[in-house]
Amino acid sequence: MIGILIFPDFQLLDAAGPISVFEIAARCTGKTTPGIRVLAANAGAVRSSSGVEMVARDFKSVNAITTLVIAGGVGVTDAARCEVTRAFVQRLARRGVRVASVCSGAYVLAEAGLLDGRRATTHWGRTREFVARYPKVKFEPDRIFTRDGNVWTSAGISAGIDLALAMVTEDHGEEIAQQTARQLVLYHRRSGGQSQFSSLLELKTPNGRFGALLSWARENLDARLTVEDLAERAGMSARHFARAFAAETGATPSKAIERLRIEVARERVEASREAIELVAEATGFRDPERMRRAFIRAFGQPPQALRRAARAG
């Protein structure tokens, strides 16, 4: 039985995302009725921050929980202070139940003392506050999700889907997880070690005048993608293109392309066993040593170290 813990002003997708993953995975295994229960300190309708409500059972009514996923949201501060909620989470953890949080749901786990000495993450926007409040946590701000023993945490909102898919892999195997991801029409299932950040989103205006060009470049990283190549595709002179691109995005064309190459290369390094040389070729670095230097500049580690960390996580 999977329990989804919510509270007033929870984030709807934090709960609905994992629920959909577990529902579809159950169907992929041949079950017609997935064992999922929505739980709250008080039974009845619980209003999310969007105004949409979910109907929950109280903690006393369900005892056969094997996995508990705690949603986040703007109401998490009150939830983390709730003695009934903390006691419930602590009780399940003592029983060996797999417990997890989505986004700021990590505050509930931290207040319950379950993250002390453990690796954990949450939404990048809460990093400074979380680290200051919970210094005993081995905080990892740039991860999609973490697992430390029977305690799992994930980054902001949609990362709860990645966490749930990883749980499906553990419970039912890679094939069922892949079937579930395809049913959800996900491009791919992100590994826990993947960065929370997007190279395109780091630009000042990722969807501005050059948004389509950057999206095209991301799909063609094995091409040369020089300033002249990009300018030609944009229908501009190289000099005018370079000035206009930097003014709009806050980065030079070459730096933006390197960011894209690093991002895609990291995804492939962490999510596959593909040879580093092939990753470098496919993402336009050509030379593995050139890619290694770019990784060290960006992450402080070479590709092989990130691959080992992703497998360990």
Write the DSSP string, the chain.
Answer: -EEEE--TTB-HHHHHHHHHHHHHHHHHTT-SS--EEEEESS-EEEEBTTS-EEEEEEGGG----SEEEE--STTHHHHHH-HHHHHHHHHHHHTT-EEEE-GGGHHHHHHTT-STTSEE---GGGHHHHHHH-TTSEE-TT-SEEEETTEEEE-STTHHHHHHHHHHHHHH-HHHHHHHHHHTT-S-PPPTTS-S--TTTTSS-TTSTTHHHHHHHHTTTTS---HHHHHHHHTS-HHHHHHHHHHHHSS-HHHHHHHHHHHHHHHHHHH----HHHHHHHTT--SHHHHHHHHHHHHSS-HHHHHHHHHH-
Output the average pLDDT for the chain: 88
Verify that 96 and 239 share a domain, yes or no.
no
Verify that 152 and 21 share a domain, yes or no.
yes
**Would you state the pLDDT for residue 74?**
95
Residue 185 has pLDDT above 90, yes or no: no
Structure confidence at residue 290 as a pLDDT band (50, 70, 90): very high
Is the residue at 32 inside a domain?
yes
Is the residue at 33 inside a domain?
yes
User: Directed axis angle between helix 253-271 and helix 227-234, to 10°?
Assistant: 100
Task: Report the pLDDT averaged over residues 86-104.
Answer: 95
**Would you state the pLDDT for residue 83?**
96
Structure confidence at residue 271 as a pLDDT band (50, 70, 90): confident
Shortest CA distance to 250 belongs to which of 205, 184, 199? 205
Inter-residue contact 212 to 288 (CB < 8 Å): no
Task: Report the pLDDT averaged over residues 127-131.
Answer: 88
Is the residue at 196 inside a domain?
no
CATH of the domain at 70: 3.40.50.880
Verify that 127 and 244 share a domain, yes or no.
no
- Decide if 28 is catalytic: no
Structure confidence at residue 312 as a pLDDT band (50, 70, 90): low
Of the two residues 162 and 186, the one the predictor is more confident about is 162
Q: How many domains does the chain have?
A: 2
**Would you state the pLDDT for residue 124?**
79
**Would you state the pLDDT for residue 308?**
81
Is the residue at 250 inside a domain?
yes
What is the longest distance spanned by two Cα atoms in the chain?
Answer: 69
Which is the catalytic residue, given 92, 103, 176, 234?
Answer: 103
Structure confidence at residue 313 as a pLDDT band (50, 70, 90): low
Verify that 115 and 258 share a domain, yes or no.
no
Question: Do the strands 145-148 and 151-154 form a parallel or antiparallel pair, or are they unpaired?
Answer: antiparallel
Verify that 228 and 144 share a domain, yes or no.
no
- The residues near 79 (Cβ < 8 Å, ≥ 6 apart) are 7, 8, 10, 41, 85, 107, 108
Is the residue at 206 inside a domain?
no
Task: Report the pLDDT averaged over residues 165-191.
Answer: 80
Edge-first strand listing for the sheet containing 36-40: 44-47, 53-58, 36-40, 2-5, 67-70, 98-101, 151-154, 145-148
Verify that 136 and 36 share a domain, yes or no.
yes
Task: Report the pLDDT averaged over residues 186-202.
Answer: 52
Is the residue at 134 inside a domain?
yes
Verify that 15 and 136 share a domain, yes or no.
yes
Task: Report the pLDDT averaged over residues 99-111.
Answer: 96
Verify that 152 and 71 share a domain, yes or no.
yes
Verify that 56 and 114 share a domain, yes or no.
yes
> To 5 degrees, how large is the angle CA 259–CA 265–CA 267?
105
User: Could you tell me the pTM of the whole model?
Assistant: 0.66
CATH of the domain at 263: 1.10.10.60
**Would you state the pLDDT for residue 144?**
81
Of the two residues 175 and 69, the one the predictor is more confident about is 69
80/6 Cα distance (integer angstroms): 11
**Would you state the pLDDT for residue 183?**
87
Verify that 47 and 128 share a domain, yes or no.
yes
Verify that 234 and 157 share a domain, yes or no.
no
Structure confidence at residue 61 as a pLDDT band (50, 70, 90): confident
Segment 48-60, tens digit of pLDDT = 999 999 999 999 8
Verify that 60 and 175 share a domain, yes or no.
yes
Structure confidence at residue 42 as a pLDDT band (50, 70, 90): very high
Give the range of the structural domain holding residue 154, as residue numbers without chain letter.
2-183
